[in-house]
Amino acid sequence: MVFSGVAIMRMNMQFLAYTKKIKEGKKMKETINFSRFCDRFASMGRENQFSYEGKKALFGYLEEMEEATGEEQELDVIALCCEYTEYKNVEEFQNDYGEEYENIQDIGCETMVIMIDGESFIIQNF
C-alpha cells in the first residue's frame, strides 16, 4: 500500500492528537452492567458495604440519574461508600441519626432515600 505525502501528514497529525490526549490524562470510557458494578466493589474490598439487593437499588438509581440528567456517571466505589449508607430498617437508621425521624417519609424530607424493599433502604448521608 502506498500513501501520499498528504495522507502520511494526516496520519501523523492524528497520532500526535491521540498522543496529546493520553498525556493530558484523557480516559477511556467503559460501560458496565450490574455484574461488573458488583465486581468493582469486590475489587476495592467493599463487597460487603451494601447487600446484593442494595447494590441493585443503587445501580438502578445511578442509571436513572444518568438518564434524567443526560450526564454519564463515573464509577467511584469509595465515593459511593462514603456518600451512601444502607439500613435494614428505620430503627437501625435511628441509631445513627436519632429518633426524631419516625418513618421513611421523615427521612425523605431530609435526604435522598433509595428504597430496596418494604423495609430496607439506602440514604445519601447528611
pLDDT in tens, 4-44: 444 445 554 555 455 555 566 667 788 899 999 999 999 99
CA–CA separation, 75 and 26 (whole Å): 16
* DSSP designation for 2: -
pTM: 0.77
Residue 69, φ and ψ in degrees, nearest 5: -95, -20
